[in-house]
Amino acid sequence: KQEVTQIPAALSVPEGENLVLNCSFTDSAIYNLQWFRQDPGKGLTSLLLIQSSQREQTSGRLNASLDKSSGRSTLYIAASQPGDSATYLCAVSPETSGSRLTFGEGTQLTVNP
Amino acid sequence: GAVVSQHPSWVICKSGTSVKIECRSLDFQATTMFWYRQFPKQSLMLMATSNEGSKATYEQGVEKDKFLINHASLTLSTLTVTSAHPEDSSFYICSARDAGTGLETQYFGPGTRLLVL
């Protein structure tokens, strides 16, 4: 059974800092890995999707890397802003079905002005 | 593009009543939709996969008679929580996969918060 772990569970940083969120998964037979953002009481916004054959994806100040063999992914946020405050979730899908997502418990990020 | 809506966004009901939650893909067709549940401070747990025109596939531990799923069209799936009890209080989120792209990307709805008194 796939298990996804995110570290840290919570993170508080001053505005402008660069930061790294970590995600690990136990079964390396994945189809893809996604990073999502969730604001309090809201649904999910997809940030980045990395196919299993890819090593990283970038979107603006966000960069996600994937090391499939070691079961790890990182989300790098550059020059953090208060608007980045949210819970960040990573999710993986198995090779057998690209849609069946297993989520981590998230990292709650607070960026202080 | 790729917008998924849910209705209602909030619902409060008495114990024993049934509650229906709708999930719609607004600008694309979705042959497959997914229903998740999220308890406070916890992550999303997949409840079931809803396929248009066929029976839903439920995850282990999810009672299919309690959580009725209907996917009657390519843009609408409904989740009915039957005889709801306080322990069913949770945040329910649906997602949909765009049938036209052939990609595995899921688009998520804004969620429905259910409180059972």
Spell out the per-residue pLDDT of chain A, length 113, in tens.
899 999 999 999 999 999 999 999 999 999 889 999 999 888 899 899 998 999 999 999 999 999 999 999 999 999 999 999 999 999 998 877 657 889 999 999 999 99
CB count, 10 Å around CB of B82? 15
For the cut 70, the answer to whether the pLDDT of residue B1 exceeds it is: no
Phi and psi for A84 in degrees, rounded to 5?
-80, -10
Q: What is the pLDDT of residue B98?
A: 78
A25, A3 Cβ separation under 8 angstroms: yes
Nearest to A99 among B42, B45, B97 (CB): B97
* Preceding omega of A94 cis (within 30 degrees of 0): no
Chain A nearest-CA distance from B83, in A, is 24
Look at A46 and B110 and tell me if their CB atoms are within 8 Å. Answer: no
pLDDT of residue B6 exceeding 70:
yes
Of B91, B104, B107, nearest to A93 by CB-CB distance is B104
Residue-level pLDDT at A97: 66
CB contact under 8 A, A36 and B108: yes
Tell me how many residue pairs between chain A and chain B have CB atoms under 8 A apart. 50
Q: Are strands A4-7 and A19-25 parallel, antiparallel or unpaired?
A: antiparallel
Q: Quick check: B114 pLDDT over 70? A: yes
Which of A44, A102, A105 is closest, CB to CB, to B93?
Answer: A44
User: B83: which residues sit within 8 A by CB, 6+ positions away?
Assistant: B16, B17, B18, B66
Whether residue A99 and residue B111 make contact (CB cut-off 8 A), yes or no, is: no
CB contact under 8 Å between B108 and A41, yes or no, is no
Q: How confident is the model at residue B27 (pLDDT cuts 50, 70, 90)?
A: confident
- CA distance, residue B29 to nearest chain A CA (Å): 16
Chain A CB within 8 Å of residue B49 CB: yes
Q: Would you say residue B30 has pLDDT above 90?
A: no
Smallest Cβ distance to A43: which of B34, B45, B109?
Answer: B109
Q: What is the distance between the alpha carbons of residues B47 and B64, in angstroms, rounded to a whole number?
A: 9
Q: How far is B47 from chain A (nearest CA, A)?
A: 10
Using alpha carbons, select from A53, A55, A97 the residue that is nearest to residue A74: A55
The CA-based diameter of chain A, rounded to the nearest angstrom, is: 44
**Cβ contact, residue pair A43, B113, below 8 Å:** no
What is the rounded end-to-end Cα distance, in angstroms, of chain B?
37
- Report pLDDT for B40: 84
Q: Of B23, B43, B39, B45, which Cα lies nearest the Cα of B97?
A: B23
Separation of alpha carbons B92 and A41, rounded Å = 11
Does the pLDDT of residue B100 top 80, yes or no?
A: no
